[in-house]
Amino acid sequence: MLDPNLDEIQLLPEEYARYSRHLILPEVGLDGQKRLKAASVLCVGTGGLGSPLLLYLAAAGVGRLGIVDFDVVDHSNLQRQVIHGTSWVGKPKIESAKDRIQEINPYCQVDLYETALSSTNALDIIRPYDIVVDGTDNFPTRYLVNDACVLLDKPNVYGSIFRFEGQATVFNYQGGPNYRDLYPEPPPPGMVPSCAEGGVLGILPGIIGVIQATETVKIILGQGTTLSGRLVLYNALEMKFRELKLRPNPVRPVIETLIDYEQFCGIPQAQAAEAEQQSMLAEMTVTELKQLIDSGADDFVLIDVRNPNEYDIAKIPGSILIPLPDIEQGKGIEQVKAVLNGHRLIAHCKMGGRSAKALAILQAAGIEGTNVKGGIQAWSREVDAAVLEY
């Protein structure tokens, strides 16, 4: 309802006080606040981006907020996902978000969808809303959100974050470009690490999420110049903003229906290849590794392929650090050869993925080894809780 009948919308006396700083802005005023109250916004994800944008959209007076998420609050979320609190750890994120939103603004209707957005349900979930805000962190869902918005002619307010950098724009608005104009094809699986693998500055999603909230409010009000056709790039370490022009691709494929986005992004193929690679590697559990260490055996070398900063946090006693990037660049292969000295090789990382990759590279160089399933995370949970989990 981006063009509502304002005569039918009334503010309560309490809302005049609540939104007084909006009402005195000529660009908002009473009509603008009524537009906000009449608007409906769907947020896909209540993580780093969804947290600040939901807080500010609720505070601004958006009348109806929909939230799609199926995850639970984890301690590792609290460094950046400011809508959640410690008391909500282990509980559904959407319930945590609703509780906080209604504490901020009890006049905001909150709809919850505790499910993964999919090709089966996306159109039905998105259809009732005026605007969709993409707070996701994976390529299949980003393409899904984009294509559903194109089919339903909904603005798609986009943001993404990684380490110290973020980007934001508005897709599919007033004839502007959509996500496929920025990324016609997804990158190969694993090419772009997740925040869980690469990390993210906790403050960064606050900046990008607030930009998304700002763009959403501007669209509702019909004020200002949106980011449609412009991609804002933000570097927190350098405190620099850059802007790139985006234009619709005249030869892009026409979106006619929703597809299998996991397949489109190559996820099943990558998982099959990874499973095949894993099947070719010898594996051991953390319990078996502990038994081997306790036996006093000295015929093996335990290599840790994580990054040095991770090694500083926690380590398995007796392990030797040779980071995966060094192995990929070749110098780590020589280091492994030097420390082995005829012993057998056992490798681990945080959860088992990077060490499997390292062993595949070493195997190609003629060095056989055994991968520790679950990595140091499994060691912390199953063997020694004194080894910190991060």
CA-based torsion, 295, 301, 307, 312: positive or negative: positive
Q: Would you tell me how many other CB atoms lie within 10 Å of the CB of residue 388? A: 10
Among candidate residues 43, 149, 195, 265, the one labeled active-site is 195
- The yes-or-no answer on residue 195 being catalytic is yes
Residue 383 tokens, joined: 């063997």
Say if residue 230 is exposed, middle or buried (CB neighbours under 10 Å; 0-12, 13-18, 19+): middle
Q: How far apart are CA 215 and CA 225, in angstroms?
A: 9
Q: Are strands 344-348 and 156-162 parallel, antiparallel or unpaired?
A: unpaired
At position 375, the amino acid (one-letter code) is G
Q: Are 123 and 151 in contact (CB under 8 A)?
A: yes
Rounded Cα–Cα distance for residues 310 and 273 (Å): 27
The separation between CA 175 and the C-alpha centre of its own chain, rounded to angstroms, equals 27
Structure tokens at 126: 């998105």
Number of alpha helices (DSSP H) and beta strands (DSSP E) in the chain:
18, 13
CB contact set of 228 (below 8 Å; sequence gap of 6+): 169, 170, 171, 173, 174, 176, 177
Which single residue is written with the structure tokens 């999603």? Answer: 205
CA distance 230 to 83: 28
DSSP state of 92: B
Does the annotation mark 349 as catalytic?
Answer: yes
- What's the CA gap between 371 and 347, in Å, rounded? 5
Q: Phi/psi at 287 (nearest 5 deg)?
A: -65, -40
Pairing of strands 282-284, 230-235: unpaired
Indicate which residues carry an active-site annotation: 195, 349
